[in-house]
Amino acid sequence: MEIRADTQMPLRIARVLDVAEGIRSFELVQPDGTELPPFTPGSHIGVQTPGGAVRKYSLCNDPGERHRYVITVKRDPNGQGGSISMHDEAHAGDVLATSPPDNAFPLVDNARAYLFIAGGIGITPILSMIRSFAGLPAAPWKLHYLTRSPESTAFADELMRPQLRRHVHIHHDHGDPEKSFDLWPALEKPNTAHIYCCGPRPLMESVRDMTGHWSPANVHFESFNEGGGVKPDDQPFKIRLARSGLEFDVPVGKSILATLREHGCNAPSSCESGTCGTCRTTLLSGDADHRDMVLMPEELSERIMICVSRARSPELVLDL
Ligand code: FES
């Protein structure tokens, strides 16, 4: 993700608040105190961390608020440094470059019911959705909020307030996979509810596997794993664009989409994390290493989400 110079918004950190163990909220405001561009539930902004990396963070405050954005960041000691920089180097009063709100996880506003599934810091976009219901006769909703322990559960006090607690189920697994919550009873019978899931990859994959019999239009995922992340056995590979005959090398650590852009080829994208479906591309040959959350099993041999997926074969041929 990049912050484009022509749309960049410098925002001042007005307040920093520890909301759980290793999890910190940052309230961002216009330096001159004016209103911010509006946002919808599920939106994110890009933030250039003090260390220089650009990261995508969900806005977790009520979208009705016009003078602040609130982002919440979990310090990840094994990450690539963005969250560590935010925790260790971003202080109240500092000004950070940001990009305006964008939404790849929009809340369907006429759903008959909502089922929210949040794993850990994945609560952030869902919190803005729940907060947007305040004072409104929202459709029935339920939140399963899965975290490691009470200490690592951000916003538990708010979610356990009398108005919300009947909708909210919080489960702690204490790091023991044997104690993970069984979502199957909630997902076994498809219905007209819209499911919103955000959290660690294994949780989202498990929800995807358990919702194969739901309408795909009713199941929504949000991931912050831009470009699909790097896996230890990733290899470079080639892509060939069948229509132009152009060939490019895709190195480790760079997505097909980023490689195309680098060479001046435009391809539509939105989430850039394999969850929205915008970059669906026809795969003409080659063995794809699918890393998205949107393709159905029957599409895997002929389609690829170029923002996150890679190759198991030395070359992929794309219908571009
Ligand atoms: Fe959203 Fe690729 S841009 S799935």
Would 52 be classed as within a structural domain?
yes
More confident site: 136 or 15: 15
Give the model's pLDDT for residue 65: 96
Cα separation, 173 vs 185, in Å, equals 18
**3 state SS of 142:** strand
- Alpha-carbon separation of residue 73 from 101, 260, 273 (angstroms): 17, 30, 18
Domain holding 33: CATH number? Answer: 2.40.30.10
Distance of CA 282 from the midpoint of ligand 1 (Å): 14
- What total of structural domains would you count in the chain? 3
Give the model's pLDDT for residue 146: 98
Would 103 be classed as within a structural domain?
no
Q: Which atom of ligand 1 has the smallest separation from the CA of 272? A: 3
Residue 122 main-chain phi, psi, to 5 deg: -65, -5
Cα separation, 253 vs 319, in Å, equals 23
Would 107 be classed as within a structural domain?
no
More confident site: 128 or 298: 128
Residue after which a domain boundary falls, among 224, 242, 264: 224
Give the model's pLDDT for residue 137: 62
pLDDT per position as a tens digit, 63-107:
999 999 999 999 998 877 899 999 999 999 999 999 999 998 999
Distance of CA 105 from the midpoint of ligand 1 (Å): 11
Give the model's pLDDT for residue 272: 87
Give nearest CA residue, ligand 1 atom 4. 274
Same domain? For 24 and 73 the reply is: yes
Distance of CA 46 from the midpoint of ligand 1 (Å): 16
Any atom of ligand 1 within 6 Å of the Cβ of 256: no
Q: Are 200 and 175 in contact (CB under 8 A)?
A: no
Same domain? For 203 and 124 the reply is: yes
Residue after which a domain boundary falls, among 51, 68, 98: 98
Structure tokens at 273: 């994390």
pLDDT per position as a tens digit, 243-283:
999 999 999 999 999 999 999 998 898 888 898 889 999 99
Same domain? For 205 and 241 the reply is: no
Domain holding 195: CATH number? Answer: 3.40.50.80
Confidence of residue 3 (pLDDT cuts 50, 70, 90): confident
Residue after which a domain boundary falls, among 208, 224, 240: 224
Domain span at residue 259?
Answer: 227-318
Would 219 be classed as within a structural domain?
yes
Any atom of ligand 1 within 6 Å of the Cβ of 226: no
- How confident is the prediction for the chain on average, in pLDDT? 94
Give the model's pLDDT for residue 223: 85
Domain holding 313: CATH number? Answer: 3.10.20.30
Strand partners, 197: 117, 221
Res 135 pLDDT > 70: no
Distance of CA 248 from the midpoint of ligand 1 (Å): 20
Same domain? For 161 and 186 the reply is: yes
Would 4 be classed as within a structural domain?
no
Res 4 pLDDT > 90: no
Same domain? For 118 and 220 the reply is: yes
Same domain? For 216 and 245 the reply is: no
pLDDT per position as a tens digit, 282-296:
999 999 999 998 898
Lowest-confidence region among 13-17, 106-110, 141-145, 178-182? 106-110
Any atom of ligand 1 within 6 Å of the Cβ of 272: yes
Q: Which atom of ligand 1 has the smallest separation from the CA of 268? A: 3
Would 250 be classed as within a structural domain?
yes
Same domain? For 122 and 214 the reply is: yes
Q: Are 207 and 187 in contact (CB under 8 A)?
A: yes
Q: What b/e string do you get for 142-169 counting C-beta neighbours within 10 Å, with b at 16 or more? A: ebbbbbeeeebbbbbeebeeeebeebbe
Confidence of residue 148 (pLDDT cuts 50, 70, 90): very high
Pocket test for ligand 1, best of 305, 310, 318, 320 (most atoms within 8 A of CB): 305
Same domain? For 204 and 280 the reply is: no
Give the model's pLDDT for residue 184: 98
Give the model's pLDDT for residue 266: 87
pLDDT per position as a tens digit, 199-235:
998 999 999 999 999 999 999 999 877 666 788 899 9
Would 68 be classed as within a structural domain?
yes
Same domain? For 147 and 191 the reply is: yes
Any atom of ligand 1 within 6 Å of the Cβ of 274: yes
Would 106 be classed as within a structural domain?
no
**pTM for this predicted structure:** 0.89
Give 46's Cβ-side CA count (13 Å radius).
20
